[in-house]
Amino acid sequence: MAIQINTQQPDDLKNMPPEMAAEIEEVSKSRRDFMKVTGMAAMGAVIAGCTANERIVKPLVAQPEGIKLGVPYEYASTCQMCSANCGTVMKTRDGRPIKAEGNPQLPMNYSGLCASGQASLWNLYNPDRLHQPVAKDGSAKTWAEIDAAAKAAIGAGTVLLTGTISGAGARDVIARFCAKTGAKHVAYDAISAWTIAAAHRDTHGAAVIPRYRFDMADMIVSFGADFLGKWISPMEYSRQWAAKRDLRFGRKEMSRHIQLEARYSLTGANCDVRHRLPDSQRGAALVALAEALGANGKFGAAGKHGLAGGVIESLANELKASKGRSLVLAGNDSADNVKIQKLVNWINHTLENYGKTVDLRNHSQQKLGNDEALAQLLKDLEGGSVKTLIVYGVNPVYDLPDGDKFKELMAKAANTFAISDHADETASECAWIAADDDPNESWGDFEPQRGLHTLAQPLVRRLWDTRQGLHTLLVWGGLAAHGDKYYDVLKKFWETSVLVAGETFRSAVEMGFVDHRDSVVNNMPEMRDTGDMAGVGEVASGTGLEIIVYESYTVGEGRHANNGWLQELPDPLTRQSWTNGASICPATMAELGLEEGDLVEVTADIGGRKATCRVPVLRQPGATPGTVSIGLGYGRTKAGRIKHGLGVEADAVDEDTLAIGGRGYGFLGAGKAVFGSVSKVGKYHHLAKLQEHDSQEGRPLLKQTSFDLWKKNPANGNTHEIPPVALTVWPRWEYKGHKWGMVVDLNSCTGCGACVVACSVENNVPIVGKEEVWRRREMHWIRIDAYYEDAEHDGKLTNHENPEAGFQPMMCQHCENAPCETVCPVLATLHSEEGLNTQAYNRCIGTRYCANNCPYKVRRFNWFTYKYADLTMNLALNPDLTVRTQGVMEKCSMCAQRIYDGKRAAGLAGEKLRDGSIRTACQSSCPTNAIVFGDQNDPKSRVFELGKDARNYQVLAEINTRPAVTYLTKVRNRPSKPEEEALADRAIKRAAAKADTKHEGHDH
């Protein structure tokens, strides 16, 4: 539905349509000049208060039907930030989307939506998008011109290169296009999972990626598969994984998760037991595991792996004990190959996991790229048989291992067309670029899992003169005219080929999906022989360090590198933003004489091709010695203005300070472990880390215990002695009505960072750019602190070998005895009757006393007015909340606007507030439901119940701030550590001593 942008709220810039906002910018510029001259007079006038604030209100000529002014509407759609295609619910106001959330109905990701999904609005309003079709020189063209050129060029010898396209309707369009024009379709994924599909082709006769069921697995063994971070369908996996480990509300079961990996991944940080295993030894370890499971030498001899004796044996025993309820995975990274995946298939088959935790019937269609077809395309380009190349939605010059070569090969094709929303590295090499819509402007369909069909619908009128890519293909294939609507094509296809009796297209659009998974016929053959497995157990060797590349947790594969919210989001473990880095463990850093922040050049020779990448060194406790890991997605050169640091001209700034990081894709594509060298070339300026210190210094901030101890006493891990409060000058607050509170389950939190971006989008939290982050002036209202177990204590590393890591979301704790409230000289921060610590921006004069007095360091000061360089971005602002300006302190408000919306809805219905009807932005983004918000005064609420949980604790309880935000102890399903045992013992002794004194008291 195309909605006209409403112009009825001209009272502030944030509600302006782009063209009008631009005018205002003009006016205020000239006004500033005017002020310079007549400042005095004007000042007098303003102070006297005799100017009338004349404001124009310009109503629409006619209000669009069904749209009421200022009322938010929610539409089901599908996220297209990555190929996982999670379901979303988009909140729109006055014809513009302002917030993306997960679709709670969709039985895949449910309400969880990751950081990039949350940040999708940035892409929509991004002014760097193409505004019309352009030619290679950047000159604007009309659609008629580009269509004529394309129709003349497309025919036999045409190749259409795309990413994963899973939707039935979309695939039909491509099939029709290819049939009509004789074009060939090639799909590839920047971060490929082809090895899994190829392995299943060999072992099961179907090149598919299974749907993994973490919610049915009691025992998860992952060889480097980062399924909680960025692996095929991370939101779905996170949810399933957490559901099996949730110990709240009386649940007592917990799965066991063992991770064997080289780098320190997000999944490794959340597992129960983590073993360090270089990727080069993965095959050897898997063969050893297969042997222990009864392979009888089927896969040859296992090479020498570095795992401690007994690890593989105990793994095998545990896996055997949970046959049919276990899951073994191997990640798709540089060292991965088809043989390793076939071995994993054999192990899962031996453990009887197929049909249970490994589902081939409703297999994943989230990565449909075919590396073999891509390799053939490169050969065809080389051989000159490709006359016309259409690149749709992918950026091979950037994200193929040998992008430069692809650039050369592209030039061999006579005609090159790109369908892209911005002139990226590949599109800018094409003769024509057909400007693509943002996903929020167009219709689309997806089938992330076999049988689960989802729909995307447009939520805003096209901002620029763009055209949906699939429609462009229809036009170029002579199957539609420029003025036709893709909606008609999609609706017709769905009505004939997707929907079954009783379903209408309208109801499917309303829900956002139709679920036909149960009616998919299971025609998957049984496991065959694994075939040739020679050399699978060999350990690759080489000189120098082992180089590992992985999809970044922030900007992902790099397509969205121009997204400020994602750039400012720190890596969950290394905590740096605005760049990637070379993560090296402290021991190896010392060996190489490197320090954190050194700029290094990482080089490797991959089959005669030299791969290189310049990145800063990042200290990563727990990384495998002798390895260096580099996040992908950075190093874009034609991403947009973000690479220059928010449009600020990079004059006199060293190139290294630019926020582009290094391109790591060169290290992919070897099919075995890559070895190379790391050499220092200088110092990286402004390494923007959002957390410098990763130790708790012995304080129980993030409490954790073992599952065994928890089973003995749920309070274990939470029995630290807190000195009693002898004296307080403050009277206790009395909360008569609601008392808002939040409980964060540290056992569920994976540290993914979705809540950070969700909060920024919901609450108009600005991004500040790399240099300001480096000055510790980030503005995030919620941050996720990462702590390594005893990572650094007294300046010495006590456990830098393989420390456990934990994550703790930290936002304003809304203390009852709030230290900030007592020091504000102007009463800008006050306690509300409902237990919230409120901040009135208009009162704040910016003394920053409150931030200095905050023990949790959650208050943020606006050192500048962080205006968007281009006012189109203002359309992404939430109109329900002030846009703060320079000199104002701000912090988490527990989404006050949502609280009042919830109250209003209840008042309207004449009901009492239901528990769960108000959801804060962080809570609703969380894929694992780690955050629960509610009324602590309501004895039926979940926060009330969790408040009584034995695991519940307050951070820094000893200072008696009495926070409204409390946490639940983290529990790991692994043997207890001595300090955890000691803590439990002390609690028992204390209880005994207390009982004794009581007893004595009775005697006397």
Partner 1 sequence: MNAKLAVIFFFLTFGFSMPVLLGFRDVYDIQLPNLHTYYQPEQPIPFSHRWHAGVLNMDCQYCHTSADHSRHAGIPNVSTCWNCHEKVLGKTTTAQENITKVRNAYLKGESVEWKRVHNVADFVYFNHQTHVRIAKFIDEEGKVHDGFSCQTCHGPMENAGVARQAENLSMGWCVNCHRDWNEKYEKAGIERFAPVNACDACHR
- Residue with tokens 């208009």, as numbered in its chain: 842
Q: Which two tokens stand for residue 23?
A: 């005018």
Give the residue with the Cβ less far from partner 1, 631 or 741.
Answer: 741
Select the residue interacting with partner 1 from 54, 651, 734, 794 (CB under 8 A): 54
Q: Binding to partner 1 (CB under 8 A): which residues in 873-932? A: 880-882, 885, 887, 893, 896-897, 899-900, 903-904, 907-908
Site string for partner 1, 162-201 (x = CB under 8 A): ----------------------------------------
Contact of 912 with 708, CB cutoff 8 Å: no
- Which of 399, 412, 458, 338 lies closest to 3 in space, CA to CA? 458
Select the residue interacting with partner 1 from 69, 152, 179, 411 (CB under 8 A): 69
Q: Binding to partner 1 (CB under 8 A): which residues in 703-742? A: 737
Stretch that binds partner 1, among 63-71, 167-175, 522-530, 635-643 (CB under 8 A): 63-71
What's the rounded Cα separation, in Å, for the pair 900 and 897? 5
Contact of 155 with 413, CB cutoff 8 Å: no
Q: Binding to partner 1 (CB under 8 A): which residues in 846-865? A: 865
b/e 304-342 (16+ beta carbons within 10 angstroms → b): ebbbeeebbeebbeebeebeebbbbbbbbbbbbbbbbbb
Sheet holding 87-93, edge to edge: 72-78, 87-93, 96-102
What's the rounded Cα separation, in Å, for the pair 698 and 42? 58
- How far CA 122 is from CA of 81, 355, 458, 563, in Å, comes to 11, 40, 16, 6
Give the residue with the Cβ less far from partner 1, 12 or 958.
Answer: 12
Select the residue interacting with partner 1 from 1, 3, 4, 9 (CB under 8 A): 9
User: Under DSSP, is residue 506 helix (H, G, I), strand (E, B) or coil?
Assistant: helix
Select the residue interacting with partner 1 from 372, 510, 591, 833 (CB under 8 A): 833
Shortest approach of partner 1 to residue 103 CB, angstroms?
A: 25
Q: Count of CB atoms within 10 A of residue 915's CB?
A: 17
Length of the chain: 1004
Stretch that binds partner 1, among 111-119, 448-456, 656-664, 832-840 (CB under 8 A): 832-840
Q: Binding to partner 1 (CB under 8 A): which residues in 107-166? A: none
Give the residue with the Cβ less far from partner 1, 46 or 648.
Answer: 46
Shortest approach of partner 1 to residue 572 CB, angstroms?
A: 29
Examine residue 376 and tell whether it contacts partner 1 (CB under 8 A): no
Give the residue with the Cβ less far from partner 1, 71 or 992.
Answer: 71
Give the residue with the Cβ less far from partner 1, 479 or 905.
Answer: 905
What's the rounded Cα separation, in Å, for the pair 415 and 149? 9
Site string for partner 1, 14-53 (x = CB under 8 A): ----------x---x--xx--x---xx-xx--xx-x--xx
Give the residue with the Cβ less far from partner 1, 146 or 854.
Answer: 854
Compute the CA torsion angle 290, 336, 341, 273 (nearest 10 deg): 50
Please report, in angstroms and rounded to a whole number, the separation of the first and last CA atoms in the chain. 81
Give the residue with the Cβ less far from partner 1, 8 or 713.
Answer: 8
Select the residue interacting with partner 1 from 378, 511, 823, 830 (CB under 8 A): 830
What's the rounded Cα separation, in Å, for the pair 133 and 434? 5
Shortest approach of partner 1 to residue 880 CB, angstroms?
A: 7
Contact of 159 with 389, CB cutoff 8 Å: yes
Phi-psi region at 647: left, alpha or beta (left = phi > 0; alpha = psi -120 to 50): left
Give the residue with the Cβ less far from partner 1, 6 or 120.
Answer: 6
Shortest approach of partner 1 to residue 759 CB, angstroms?
A: 14
Stretch that binds partner 1, among 159-167, 175-183, 826-834, 929-937 (CB under 8 A): 826-834
Number of residues counted as binding partner 1 (CB under 8 A):
62
Q: Which two tokens stand for residue 941?
A: 């609420």
DSSP label of 894? S
Shortest approach of partner 1 to residue 58 CB, angstroms?
A: 5
Give the residue with the Cβ less far from partner 1, 47 or 521.
Answer: 47
Site string for partner 1, 71-110 (x = CB under 8 A): x---------------------------------------
- How far CA 200 is from CA of 362, 363, 1001, in Å, comes to 14, 11, 72
Shortest approach of partner 1 to residue 63 CB, angstroms?
A: 5
Give the residue with the Cβ less far from partner 1, 551 or 762.
Answer: 762
**What residues contact 505, with CB distance under 8 A and at least 6 apart?**
491, 494, 495, 499
Shortest approach of partner 1 to residue 843 CB, angstroms?
A: 8
Site string for partner 1, 931-960 (x = CB under 8 A): ------------------------------
Site string for partner 1, 782-821 (x = CB under 8 A): ----------------------------------------
Select the residue interacting with partner 1 from 832, 847, 853, 917 (CB under 8 A): 832
Give the residue with the Cβ less far from partner 1, 307 or 905.
Answer: 905
What's the rounded Cα separation, in Å, for the pair 627 and 648? 36
Shortest approach of partner 1 to residue 740 CB, angstroms?
A: 10
Give the residue with the Cβ less far from partner 1, 49 or 724.
Answer: 49
Stretch that binds partner 1, among 9-17, 191-199, 584-592, 663-671 (CB under 8 A): 9-17
What's the rounded Cα separation, in Å, for the pair 816 and 836? 8
Select the residue interacting with partner 1 from 19, 38, 41, 63 (CB under 8 A): 63
104 backbone dihedrals φ, ψ, rounded to 5°: -65, -20
Give the residue with the Cβ less far from partner 1, 55 or 1002.
Answer: 55
- The C-alpha angle with vertex 200 and arms to 198 and 205, in degrees rounded to 5, equals 105
Give the residue with the Cβ less far from partner 1, 79 or 779.
Answer: 779
Shortest approach of partner 1 to residue 278 CB, angstroms?
A: 51
- Is the dihedral angle over the CA atoms 365, 366, 372, 376 positive or is it negative? positive
Shortest approach of partner 1 to residue 814 CB, angstroms?
A: 11
Select the residue interacting with partner 1 from 836, 875, 931, 943 (CB under 8 A): 836
Select the residue interacting with partner 1 from 19, 41, 68, 525 (CB under 8 A): 68
Contact of 329 with 222, CB cutoff 8 Å: yes
Identify the bridge partners of residue 966 per DSSP, sorted by sequence position.
743
Own/partner contacts of 981-988, CB < 8 Å, gap of 24 or more, are 981/709, 983/705, 983/716, 983/717, 983/719, 983/720, 984/705, 984/709, 984/712, 984/713, 984/716, 984/717, 984/719, 986/719, 986/721, 987/713, 987/715, 987/716, 987/719
Which run of H or of E encompasses 415?
Answer: strand 415-420
Q: Which two tokens stand for residue 516?
A: 């036909």
Q: Which two tokens stand for residue 734?
A: 């009395």
Examine residue 66 and tell whether it contacts partner 1 (CB under 8 A): no
Give the residue with the Cβ less far from partner 1, 799 or 832.
Answer: 832
Select the residue interacting with partner 1 from 41, 59, 294, 940 (CB under 8 A): 59
Contact of 126 with 873, CB cutoff 8 Å: yes
Shortest approach of partner 1 to residue 883 CB, angstroms?
A: 8
Sites of contact with partner 1 (CB under 8 A): 7-13, 24, 28, 31-32, 35, 39-40, 42-43, 46-47, 49, 52-63, 68-71, 737, 830, 832-834, 836, 838-843, 865, 880-882, 885, 887, 893, 896-897, 899-900, 903-904, 907-908
